[in-house]
A and B are shown apart, each in its own frame.
Chain A
Amino acid sequence: MQKINSPSEMVEMRDLCQAAFARQKVRFLVCAGTGCIAGGSMEVYAELKRLIGERGINVDVELLFEGQESDAGAAKSGCHGFCQMGPLVRVEPKGTFYTKVKASDVPDIITATLDEDTVVERLLFKNPDGNKALAEHDVSFYSRQTRIVLAGCGTIEPEDIRNYFAVDGYQALADIFQNHSPEQVIDIVTKSGLRGRGGGGFPAGRKWKAGLDAKATPKYVVCNGDEGDPGAFMDRSVLEGNPQAVLEGMTIAAYSIGARYGVIYVRAEYPLAVVRLLKAIEQAKEYGVLGENIMGTGFDFDIEVFQGAGAFVCGESTALTLSIEGKRGMPRVAPRPRTTEVGLYDKPTLLNNVKTFAYIPDIIRRGADWFKAIGTESSSGTAVFALTGHIANSGLIEVPMGIKLREIIFDIGGGIPKGGKFKAVQTGGPSGGCLPESLLDTPIDYDSLDEAGSIMGSGGMVIMNEKTCMVDVAKYFLQFTEEESCGQCVPCRLGTKQLLEILKDICKGRGKPEDMDLLVELSHSVHGGSVCGLGQTAANPVLTTLRYFKSEYEAHINDKCCPAGVCKDLISFRIDEDKCKGCTLCARACPVSAISGEKKEVHTIDQTLCIQCGICLDKCPKKFSAVECVSPKIIVTPKEKMEVS
């Protein structure tokens, strides 16, 4: 291993790494993101290594660095993004892209690649038009994306820093040491138009300038990886897939404001991210690109990893710093100085989201104008979204700002699966809102989404089909915020509780017509009376669903009907006499034995016993489709009850 002793040596290091990796003729990159690991990608990786090794091929990366050639090797990459089709394997240099790979597919992949120079047809992704995609850029899910932050995820091995060196890693840091003063770096960031990717969208350059101007010492750089939004995993994938980019971005920030220490705050639920970060930090220190006397310049910067303990509110900057200090994560009460003046341990602290830092090396290397040219006037660059829910292609995407919601959902996401119909798109997690079909031509940027009543947020995007109840969704988010409210502001602590109770009542069929006005009034009180973002935005899910899906509220309140068939207290399951063939599947599966009927005879559901679990609906074979969900509820009169029993 060669320690970097001066910034000028970085070029040499890159060339050395590129040359070494080029000695490996074929590389099988197995996705080691959390999604693919859950699908068994580590077994695929082990099998690849074993079978390549059996052929007597050298799979040891170290030997490549000693100058030995190799016919093939296997590596673990970060998340490729197309999690739904995992486990994913990409074969380089051709880029052949295999989906849903099992360990038992590995012999075929190896034979096709190394002996026959062909591909394994059955593992290729089939586009909606029926054409099979050979490489990622042939897949509609990828072809419309612009990948900057995610470029390294899925192409490099996150646990070996030399992979990052080979793709120009740490060149930006070496460049600023040689050519730019802190002011000049901040100037580049300002000119790029980069806005904070945590959701607020505060201009990054302005924040960095405030960090530089702050007088007190020591200063801190904090990376916010407390990705608490349910339904989002962008930061997780970046931390797991390209941790070095985050470290380099933080180090550049530290140089710009004169910070000595850094902390990365990672959610407790992301153990793999923690492991990869710790490894990345250790390697960066070994190579002299982090720690004391970085690249021999005399500049010192250390980064520690702090594991959060499970509190959504800690994503708020002041709560996050208090949490690092070992206290309850309760946002500081206004009026308060900015974190850049009084932050961690009451010292100046520059706090940015994971993705904000990950953009920095590219912006420095490719220039502010390059970044500014992507996206829109007020929101430059790209946006990263976790596209999930009722969507055909689910996964992690990166798109230029300004792209329309419709393009994301239908062109990249492939629309709603199983013949379903689009109902709503939810962005911004519990702080965001649900937008209907009529707003699908809204361009994605901070201001347009804000106007529509939602927010950009940090990047969760959940698609909902016609079987989603919007009142239930509002209830779901309020349940979340009510639980996560830190409790110091009364309007938030009690307001979210009351909002939740009203929504619960509506879902149970106990809603009153005046409840809708009450919800709006309460929402405004919670918004106005809370100090932090959690409380100020907590009512957004209620307000947007009321605004765009009012008829569903009315159906619940006036007709005691849940049109989507979700709210248990308003629905019943029944068996269509004409369709039931008496296969007994439903009766055997019913957990409360509410279904009776002889074999090959029509079955019936005892409504007094039924718990609306819906298992009968799932079990009934598609060709019969005899079980249906109806709303309003079937009212059982005592007479009917007698008949059934």
Chain B
Amino acid sequence: MEERLSKVLAPYKGKHNALIPILQEVQAELGYLSDEAMMEIAKTIGLPESQVYGVATFYAQFYFSRRGKNQTKVCTGTACHVKGAARVLDAFERELGIACGTTSEDYEHSLETVACVGSCALAPVVVVNEEVYGQFKSSKISKIIENLKE
């Protein structure tokens, strides 16, 4: 991990302003922002750790613990909300057996909501990994989960 991290950080030495792009790149490389990574970032760009944490925790995009191999995001934008996103989320919680915002013990699945993915005309929308599913029906869930196992 250290090697991958230092490779990402190398071009940013001392660059305070680039904190958000750095956090994004590190997360893209490691999957989440571990304590070690956060300390290393602080050291590299010369900011106190508290400040790095302060910024990172302000934004919804950053994760501080390991996440599942498959990531399901249920869109809860307004259009999705009025078209039954809450029920879709309930159904995912039941089928995956995990609460929203958590990761399964075997690190296979993470489930979360997203404020809006901007595909409102297809509401309700669910994004599984990178794939967008529009006009979502809860009856599709078991098949999607099945397909992810392959």
Contact = CB atoms under 8 A, between A and B. Distances in A.
A binds B: yes
B66 to A, nearest CB: 19
Interface in B41-95: 54-55, 58-62, 76-83, 87, 90-91, 94
A617 to B, nearest CB: 10
B24 interface: yes
A386 B78 CA distance: 11
B123 interface: yes
Interface stretch (A122-130, A151-159, A168-176, A231-239): A231-239
A38 B91 contact: no
B129 interface: no
B118 interface: yes
A462 B118 contact: no
Interface majority SS (helix, strand, loop, mixed), chain B: helix
B60 A231 contact: no
Contacts of B62: 309
Contacts of A386: 120-121
A268 interface: yes
A460 interface: yes
A327 interface: yes
B116 to A, nearest CB: 4
A233 B82 contact: no
Contacts of B121: 35, 83-84, 233, 386, 388, 394-396
Given A328-B54, A388-B121, A426-B78, A311 B115 contact: no
A339 B77 CA distance: 30
A312 interface: yes
A468 interface: yes
A112 interface: no
Given A395-B121, A462-B78, A326 B17 contact: yes
Contact of A229 (B20, B90, B114, B116): B116
B2 to A, nearest CB: 23
A381 to B, nearest CB: 23
A388 B19 contact: no
B132 interface: yes
Contacts of A325: 17
A80 B62 CA distance: 33
Given A83-B121, A389-B79, A328 B58 contact: yes
Contacts of A308: 59, 61
A386 B20 CA distance: 30
Nearest to B90: A613
B119 A233 contact: yes
A473 interface: yes
A614 interface: yes
A615 interface: yes
B115 A230 contact: yes
Contact of A230 (B58, B116, B122): B116
A615 B23 CA distance: 41
Given A388-B79, A591-B94, A614 B87 contact: yes
Given A323-B20, A329-B59, 10 more contacts: A39-B134, A83-B121, A227-B118, A230-B116, A269-B115, A326-B55, A328-B54, A388-B79, A473-B82, A476-B81
23 contacts: A38-B131, A38-B132, A39-B122, A83-B119, A227-B118, A228-B115, A230-B76, A230-B78, A231-B77, A231-B78, A231-B116, A231-B120, A233-B116, A233-B121, A269-B117, A308-B59, A328-B58, A386-B120, A390-B82, A396-B121, A462-B78, A486-B58, A613-B87
The 7 closest A-B pairs by CB, nearest first: A231-B78, A83-B121, A310-B60, A309-B59, A326-B19, A230-B77, A233-B118
